[in-house]
Amino acid sequence: MTFIKGISKSAPWKVKESEVTPESVFKDRRRIIQAMGLGAVGASIPGYVQAGIFDLFGSPKSTTPFKTIPLAFHSNPLFSQQEGVTPIEKVMSHNNFYEFGTGKSDPAENAQGFNVDPWKLVVDGEVERTLTLDLDDLTKLIALEERTYRLRCVEAWSMVIPWVGFPLASLLKKAGLTDKAKYVAFETLYDPEQMPGQKSRLMGGGIHYPYVEGLTVAEAMNDLSFLSVGLYGKTLPPQNGAPIRLVVPWKYGFKSIKSIVRIRVMDKQPPTSWNQLASHEYGFYANVNPKVDHPRWSQATERRIGEGGLFSAKRIETELFNGYGDQVAELYKGVDLRKYF
Ligand SMILES: Nc1nc2c(c(=O)[nH]1)N[C@H]1C(S)=C(S)[C@@H](COP(=O)(O)O)O[C@H]1N2
Ligand SMILES: [Mo]
């Protein structure tokens, strides 16, 4: 597949203007809370309201925020669109990164001291050449581009994020796949000293660390599969997966593994963290699909973070493959998406 057939204003990965997120929503969070008399968020507040309130506590509390550095990149005209992106404050404050705690604001609060230098990313397994990349290589080995993708969490919320990075396929081609290559496994850093969620079963949400993920080789080589080293034009903040994370926008967010230290090409399907934790709820494929519900909630709609006001979060229809069907549907031709969820 090439990019060419998708060049058009209506290319599905281009985010519509109607998806523009109002920034005013995020101003004066504390003032609003005070005005409501909600000094402490109590258990007496109904769940749906509480979820909205937690969104108010967005900003990182650390006094010494992690330093992000401006990146040189070209905008990929086939993927990039400036309108409709989720405000950077939201992208950096509403996160899932259980290594730093299970609360949405935990990663922003607990990860600011995360040390990514030195970093080592190894690409090995069924490859012709094992690659070892250091921190510098991550932004210099392959020309960086910007792509604005939707991110749909399995928890039925979503964002639109301008990533900076390079296609996963470009890196895999540098390593060269052997003819036994069938799957690609990914592994997050294991460093309990830096990642408190890896020390405490409670804080880490019961996940068996290191966090691991996987794709088929066909999925990994798809044009959409992206390794991100930045967002909003700068290197990644730690809460978003510094210094390098995967972005597979047609799959639920948990596939987009953060802070990767190893990419291992394999001949067998690798284990994946959420599937290991609850295999009846989280499959290996995890393609976004409004017709295949999570056992405990519907996947038909999603809450677009930052839109629709505080207590009446705007819900939008969830699209099959998160709207990227033109690019990826062919990968699943004849596959029972209900069985291989
Ligand atoms: N290592 C690691 N990667 C992870 C997670 C995690 O807990 N640990 N959470 C995943 C989930 S559930 C989602 S929705 C996305 C969130 O990415 P964001 O915080 O940059 O929006 O990261 C994914 N990658
Ligand atoms: Mo998620």
135 assigned to some structural domain: yes
Residue 306's pLDDT is what? 84
Residue 89 domain boundaries: 17-330
Residue nearest atom 21 in ligand 1 by C-alpha distance: 95
Residue 81's pLDDT is what? 67
- Residue 303 carries which DSSP code? E
- pTM across the whole model: 0.84
284 assigned to some structural domain: yes
Atom of ligand 1 nearest to the CA of 239: 19
Atom of ligand 1 nearest to the CA of 98: 7
265 assigned to some structural domain: yes
Give dist(CA 201, CA 168) in Å, integer: 32
**Does residue 160 have a pLDDT over 50?**
yes
Contact 199, 273 (CB under 8 A): no
**Does residue 189 have a pLDDT over 90?**
yes
12 assigned to some structural domain: no
Selection from 29-38, 46-55, 239-248 with the highest mean pLDDT: 239-248
User: Is the shortest distance between the CB of 95 and ligand 1 below 6 Å?
Assistant: yes
Distance (Å) from CA 119 to ligand 2 centroid: 25
Residue 3's pLDDT is what? 29
325 assigned to some structural domain: yes
216 assigned to some structural domain: yes
Residue 320's pLDDT is what? 98
User: Is the shortest distance between the CB of 99 and ligand 1 below 6 Å?
Assistant: yes
Distance (Å) from CA 38 to ligand 1 centroid: 29
User: Is the shortest distance between the CB of 157 and ligand 1 below 6 Å?
Assistant: no
User: Is the shortest distance between the CB of 286 and ligand 1 below 6 Å?
Assistant: no
Nearest to 151 by CA among 258, 26, 251: 251
User: Is the shortest distance between the CB of 251 and ligand 1 below 6 Å?
Assistant: no
Residue 310's pLDDT is what? 62
Residue nearest atom 7 in ligand 1 by C-alpha distance: 97
Residue 64's pLDDT is what? 87
pLDDT in tens, 200-225: 999 999 999 999 999 999 999 999 99
Residue 100's pLDDT is what? 98
User: Is the shortest distance between the CB of 194 and ligand 1 below 6 Å?
Assistant: no
Q: Mean pLDDT throughout 224-232? A: 98
341 assigned to some structural domain: no
Cis bond upstream, residue 243 (ω within 30): yes
**Does residue 85 have a pLDDT over 70?**
yes
Domain count along the chain = 1
Contact 55, 94 (CB under 8 A): yes
User: Is the shortest distance between the CB of 209 and ligand 1 below 6 Å?
Assistant: no
Nearest to 91 by CA among 299, 293, 234: 234
pLDDT in tens, 100-153: 999 999 999 999 999 999 999 999 999 999 999 999 999 999 999 999 999 999
CB proximity list for 100: less than 8 A, separation 6 or greater = 106, 107, 109, 110, 111, 195, 196, 197, 238, 239
% of the chain with per-residue pLDDT over 70: 79
Average pLDDT, whole number, for the chain?
A: 85
CATH number of the domain enclosing 257: 3.90.420.10
2 assigned to some structural domain: no
Residue 84's pLDDT is what? 85
